[in-house]
Structure 1
Amino acid sequence: MLDLLVDDAQRKRRVTLKDIAALAGVGTATVERALNNRGNVRPETCRKILNVARELNYFPSLPIGHHGVIRLDVLLVRPETLFYSRINSAFERLAASLGKDVVIHRSFVKEADIAGFVEKITHPPYQRSALILACPAYPAILSALRDVADSGLPVVQLVTRNLPDLPYVGIDNHAAGRTAALCMKRSLVHGNGREEDGERTGGHRRRRGSVIALCHSMAYANHRERIEGFSGFLAEQTDDRLFLRDVLFDRDDPDEAARLVHQAIVSDPDLVGIYTAGGDSLHIGTVLKKHAARALCWIGHEVNDVTRRCLADGTMTLAIDQTPEHQAGIALTLCLQKLGIIPALVEAEPPKFRLVTPENLD
């Protein structure tokens, strides 16, 4: 059917978003969101747009200068975590939208396997055209990354920025940490009215409340920046009713995270808030339900099946979601633009994080 609507002249010129929008019966903004995996497009509409884009050869045959299949490497860690499984699924969907001349290779490397990471970065088993990766900031890994970038290979850092001068697709993690601290303070100090009520009735001001923060480790720049932002905001406050007691490292192990939270609750009667800077909080809600009488404020990262349930039942106060699907789409688009496969039609906006509460939970 579509062949009847597309003439030879249109096939020979560069296809635009307007061409795709016209044949798909949608607006150009919807096409841009669908092709860049930005969300807010119904699945059936997205499939229609991708089919039209393929038919119009929007992801065209390789331009002059390219020979053979273009292979893009995506290196990730921890496939068992809910966050990285989201990213992996996003790249899987994106790969299905590409023409036969562009292939996305997705690989997972154990985060403690530094030599394995270096090998994947420096010696791929095929001719690679670009590299997208999220990795820990170990010196040997960063040295290998620097070497391949200096050789001219397009490199895009995803989720966590380890080398400041290389392209990065991800949220402002320092701002995310500060935002978590701001929301926690307003929830605990201003939101419940307990302190103000006590002062108005002549009661004593409530004693200081302590907060703990959990993250994987300082091996990941994104976690480090979140903790720095969170602790920095609290340290800057002029009042002393809320303070960071400790930063605990759970290496994104759900059982260890649960143990650390339970231990902190039972050992500190002044604990009022928990910030989880990592993306996998599998058992935190279960622990907090056992201590529901404490009414602890929990702010964490990423919206998934687990945190969605915790938000819905009130166990979790707020989640900071960085829409990894959007990041995957931008990273892929950036690589294809650098390789001349698609035109740089519109510069993609940097990913923004969104604040999700029980009131705007989808």
Structure 2
Amino acid sequence: MTRRLRKTTLEDIARHAGVGMATVDRVLNERGGVSQQTTRRVLEAAKTLGTKRILPTEIKRRLLIEAVFARNHSAYYERLNEALQTVAEVIGLPVTVYRTHIDVDKPDKLSAHLSTVAGSRDGIILFANDLPQTAQVVQQLADKTTIVTISTDITDSGRHSYVGINNENAGQAAAKISEAICRKGGRVLAVTPETGVRAPLERLVGFTRFFEERDAEDRLLVFTPPSNMPVALSQLIQLLTDEDDIRVLYSPFNDAFAERVIEAGMQEQVIRSLAKITHDLSPHAISNLRSGLIDMVIDSNPMQQVSKAVDFIAREHGYVSRKTVADVDFQLYTSENLPRADRAD
């Protein structure tokens, strides 16, 4: 009687290579996150044991990506940073992401750092304001490495790709909801963001254009807060008191002033009574949605942006993720559809 040979298992390969089964799975299914030396040992073990499957034929080196961020103090900035810490595992590619944070008011330092690392990185992910100086250095370095701008585009820079939502469309979505709330009467108040930050300015453009295209400019008020926050809050409260037909408050940027206004809604009836729409699903915004201090958040999906940026750079070098990376689009959240991990049971 002929004895049937036992099929080689992942456990057999792991034991022979001296690694865990999860490592064998990552190597054989090309999920990344394993050193070249360990990958080679696993493949040799699989061949020695006569594994009856197609094995990876190439041990790809790890891609080195530099993420350069112009540091600001927004919650969205922190979410982008957190996404970069886990993106390699999420996307399943052999990638190392180095993170460098440079104060937003030091463009000279940012430009110098880009010039320093460009020659030793397979790609650069850049989150920075659209300044002529930054655009110039990106244009100079585009032949040395793949450069992807994220969240805020840097126009006329020669960057290889921009990854982010269409901010004008996001602003128009907020305007459409605001207009629907006021359809039977009332007006909308939009707060202008701080200057120099391109994304929220684009959202405000989309928001105001919605009313202009419908000849409804008379239903929109725009408030530009002074730099002194207590004075700005006092002026806003006075405006809402004087203009008692305002029904919606819109902020295109979840900045310190927007947060202060939302908090003031706990004491100020003229703020609490309004429908409030803002951007970016920070932990604080989640808490405010749950408590009813705000009504809707339009999120830019930073994890998806980071994944798409890394995927683009990887594809430029011939790497293909086994996980499909969807195009980036904004998402609308209320207290009823928060991500499952953020819901209160």
Using the size of structure 2 for normalisation, the TM-score is 0.74
Q: What is the CA-CA distance between 1:126 and the residue it aligns to?
A: 7.0
Structure-1 residue corresponding to 2:147: 155
Q: What is the CA-CA distance between 1:266 and the residue it aligns to?
A: 1.5
Pick aligned residue for 2:219 from 242, 254, 261: 242
Q: What is the CA-CA distance between 1:214 and the residue it aligns to?
A: 3.0
8 Å CA contact 2:119–2:144 kept in 1: the answer is no
Separation of aligned partners in 1, 2:141 and 2:232:
39
Q: What is the CA-CA distance between 1:357 and the residue it aligns to?
A: 1.4
Report the CA distance shift for 1:100/1:335 in structure 2 as closer, same or farther (over 3 A).
closer
8 Å CA contact 2:93–2:321 kept in 1: the answer is no
Report the CA distance shift for 1:279/1:2 in structure 2 as closer, same or farther (over 3 A).
farther
Where does structure 1 lack aligned partners over 5 or more consecutive residues? 9-23, 25-47, 196-207
Structure-1 residue corresponding to 2:174: 180
Structure-1 residue corresponding to 2:52: none
Pick aligned residue for 2:202 from 225, 244, 259: 225
Structure-2 residue corresponding to 1:339: 317
1:228-250 deviations in Å (ceiling 9; x for gaps):
10111122223465113334476
8 Å CA contact 2:248–2:275 kept in 1: the answer is yes
Pick aligned residue for 1:4 from 9, 12, 18: 12
Report the CA distance shift for 1:249/1:78 in structure 2 as closer, same or farther (over 3 A).
farther
Structure-2 residue corresponding to 1:118: 111
Separation of aligned partners in 1, 2:194 and 2:58:
43
Separation of aligned partners in 1, 2:11 and 2:129:
48
Structure-2 residue corresponding to 1:278: 253
How many aligned residue pairs are there? 299
Q: Identical aligned pairs, as a percentage?
A: 18
Q: Does 1:287 align with 2:264?
A: yes
Using the size of structure 1 for normalisation, the TM-score is 0.71
Q: What is the CA-CA distance between 1:264 and the residue it aligns to?
A: 1.4
SS at match of 2:286: helix
Report the CA distance shift for 1:336/1:247 in structure 2 as closer, same or farther (over 3 A).
same
Structure-1 residue corresponding to 2:237: 265
1:252-286 deviations in Å (ceiling 9; x for gaps):
xxx83x75344212134214432221233433321
Letter in 1 for 2:278: G
Q: What is the CA-CA distance between 1:298 and the residue it aligns to?
A: 1.6
Separation of aligned partners in 2, 1:317 and 1:275:
11
Structure-2 residue corresponding to 1:213: 191
SS at match of 1:282: helix
Structure-2 residue corresponding to 1:78: 71
8 Å CA contact 2:124–2:145 kept in 1: the answer is yes
8 Å CA contact 1:214–1:275 kept in 2: the answer is no
SS at match of 2:154: coil
Where does 1:311-326 land on structure 2 (aligned, <5 Å)? 311-326=289-304
RMSD (Å) for aligned C-alpha atoms: 3.6
Letter in 1 for 2:250: Y
1:56-94 deviations in Å (ceiling 9; x for gaps):
443375999999764210011336432111111111112
Separation of aligned partners in 1, 2:325 and 2:62:
26
SS at match of 1:168: strand
Pick aligned residue for 1:329 from 303, 307, 310: 307
Q: Does 1:136 align with 2:154?
A: no
Structure-2 residue corresponding to 1:306: 284
8 Å CA contact 2:171–2:206 kept in 1: the answer is yes
Structure-2 residue corresponding to 1:31: none
Letter in 2 for 1:186: A
Letter in 1 for 2:145: L
8 Å CA contact 1:235–1:243 kept in 2: the answer is no
Q: Does 1:53 align with 2:26?
A: yes
8 Å CA contact 1:79–1:108 kept in 2: the answer is no
SS at match of 2:315: helix
Separation of aligned partners in 1, 2:108 and 2:219:
43
Structure ID, larger Rg: 2
